[in-house]
Each structure stands twice: as C-alpha cells, then as structure tokens.
C-alpha cells in the first residue's frame, strides 16, 4: 500500500484546483448533482440502518456508531467515482488559490456551482428515492427523519435517529459544528488524495467521516438531504427555517473548517515560498 508524503499531498490538492476552476458549467452541474445524490444515499442508508437498530433496543452509543459507520459510503462514492462536493471543494479551491493554481473567479464559480447542484441532488434523493418510493413513509422510519429535521432546524428536546438527545442548536452552534465537521471531512478527502490505491482511499475516508457523524457535527450537503426529507414527511419546519437556522450557518462553518484549518494550514506549512 503506497501513499504520498504530506508535502506531495499538499501539492496534489493545490494542483487539482486548476481543473476544477476551469470546468465547464455543464460538467460542474452534473458532477455537483451526483455528489449531492451520493451524500444523500449515505444519509438514507444511515437513516434506515439506525432506525432499525433503535427499534431493536440497541444502546444509544451503539446506535450512533451504526449511523456514523454506514454514512461514509457517500463520500467514498464522491471521491472514487468522481464528483464535485462543495465541502471538499472549499479545501481544493482555497489551497489552489493560495498556491496560484486558480483565481478568485474560478473559486467562486466552483463554490457556488457545487453548492447549488449538491442541493438539487440532495433534494432529488430525498423526495424521489426516499419519500416518493415509500421507503421513508412508514411510521418507524418517518419518526427519525422528522425529529432530525426538527432538531437541526428548530432545536429543542427531541428524539433523534441517532438516539435520545437534548439538542438546542443555535445559529452559533450550527456555525461551530460546521467548522468541526468540515475540518474532519476535508482531512478525509486529504487522506484519500494521499493514498495511491483504492483500498487506501477507502480507509482514509471512512474513519474521519464516521468520527464527525458520531460526534454530532453539521455537514451542509448532508443536511440538504436530512432536513428536506423531514419536511416532506411532515416535520414542523419551514423552508425558510431550513435555510436560515441551519443551512446558512453550517455552510459558513464548513467554509471556515476547510479553508482555515486544512487549506491554509497545509499551504503555509508545505507550499508557502
């Protein structure tokens, strides 16, 4: 099993920004949609697996581990199959901009395009493949999805799919959880870029993603699936609350987590002249 040195990994991550910044919008749209759908598939799997575990009386800690343990399948597909995920692209484009591999217009096009089409992909899976198919309609599944949406967008004491938890997520808490999340997500992507084979990429992705989910951090693209699914199933959450209370602060936190704690840190250490 071979892998790049930390310095060579930083160079590879920065170099990837050139192609991302120059990508035609139609390709960005397709790959952004796929990334949003792949993350949603991981979220749907986590919902189904964990709800069954909770119904079977599995302890809370184990149920969280199950939820986090299956969720990484989404990012594995994003990285290995190829797609444009906003949260990872923040790292790529920031490091590329600092290293002169792209410009601010390329960065903005990539960030806005990937975010918008990730949202469309997440909404597609939430409505068409989770709700309209009837997979998440039965009471046993709908309860977990609804309470996740309520917790993330409204706060308050709720029963989450990952176990009983009292959570009141303020705007600042969503922002801070977004930082922690994308620090770990981008480390997963960074480790995947360090690995030279599929097995190494698989394990490099798995553990940081499992960690952020089990800890309870907030991922903007995952929430593009979780909260709309809860809304479709009857959660007492409006679309305005979804965007204002959760998606905006989490997105901003994700940007800080990736740009500051991963891209700027490794650029400064390995690439700064």
Cα dihedral: 63, 66, 72, 73 (round 10): -130
Adjacent-strand bridge partners of 158: 165
CA 42 to chain centre: 10
pLDDT at position 146, please? 64
Would you say residue 106 has pLDDT above 50?
yes
209 Cβ partners below 8 Å, 6+ apart? 68, 71, 72, 75, 184, 185, 188
DSSP annotation of 81: I
What is the mean predicted confidence (pLDDT) over 17-21?
Answer: 98
User: From CA 126, how far away is CA 141, in angstroms rounded?
Assistant: 13
Which residue ranges make up each domain of the chain?
6-271
Tokens representing residue 117 in the block: 């089409």
pLDDT > 90 in the chain, percent: 74
What is the mean predicted confidence (pLDDT) over 236-258?
Answer: 94
pLDDT at position 52, please? 67
Closest CA to 109 of 31, 33, 25, 26: 25
The residue with tokens 């303020």 is 170
pTM, entire model: 0.91
pLDDT in tens, 208-219: 999 999 999 999
Question: Any idea how long the chain is?
Answer: 273
pLDDT in tens, 168-182: 588 999 999 999 999
User: From CA 121, how far away is CA 39, in angstroms rounded?
Assistant: 9
Of 30-34, 56-60, 82-86, 240-244, the one with minimum mean pLDDT is 56-60
Kindly report the CATH class assigned to 6-271.
mainly alpha
Q: pLDDT grade, residue 186 (50/70/90)?
A: very high
pLDDT in tens, 92-103: 999 999 999 999
User: From CA 48, how far away is CA 197, in angstroms rounded?
Assistant: 30
Helices 220-232, 104-124: crossing angle, 10 deg rounding: 30
173 Cβ partners below 8 Å, 6+ apart? none
DSSP annotation of 154: T
CB of 108 closer than 8 Å to CB of 89: no
User: From CA 75, how far away is CA 39, in angstroms rounded?
Assistant: 6
User: From CA 123, how far away is CA 37, in angstroms rounded?
Assistant: 8
Q: pLDDT grade, residue 139 (50/70/90)?
A: low
109 HSE (CA, 13 A, CB side): 19
Of 114-123, 128-137, 197-206, the one with minimum mean pLDDT is 128-137
């Amino acid at each position: 099993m071979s892998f790049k040195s930390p310095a060579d990994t930083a160079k590879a991550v920065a170099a990837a920004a050139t192609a991302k910044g120059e990508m035609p919008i139609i390709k960005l749209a397709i790959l952004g949609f796929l990334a949003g759908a792949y993350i949603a598939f991981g979220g749907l799997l986590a919902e189904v697996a964990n709800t069954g575990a909770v119904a079977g009386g599995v302890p809370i800690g184990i149920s969280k581990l199950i939820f986090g343990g299956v969720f990484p399948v989404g990012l594995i597909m994003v990285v290995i199959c190829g797609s444009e995920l906003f949260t990872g692209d923040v790292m790529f484009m920031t490091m590329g901009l600092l290293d002169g591999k792209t410009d601010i217009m390329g960065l903005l096009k990539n960030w806005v395009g990937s975010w918008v089409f990730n949202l469309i992909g997440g909404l597609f899976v939430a409505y068409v493949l989770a709700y309209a198919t009837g997979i998440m309609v039965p009471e046993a599944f709908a309860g977990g999805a609804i309470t996740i949406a309520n917790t993330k967008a409204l706060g308050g004491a709720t029963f989450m799919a990952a176990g009983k938890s009292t959570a009141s997520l303020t705007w600042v808490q969503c922002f801070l959880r977004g930082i922690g999340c994308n620090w770990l997500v981008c480390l997963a992507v960074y480790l995947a870029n360090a690995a030279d084979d599929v097995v190494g990429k698989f394990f490099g992705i798995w553990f940081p993603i499992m960690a952020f989910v089990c800890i309870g951090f907030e991922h903007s693209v995952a929430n593009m699936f979780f909260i709309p699914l809860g809304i479709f199933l009857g959660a007492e959450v409006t679309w305005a609350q979804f965007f204002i209370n959760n998606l905006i602060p989490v997105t901003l936190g994700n940007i800080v987590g990736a740009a500051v704690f991963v891209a700027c840190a490794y650029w400064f250490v390995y690439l700064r002249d």
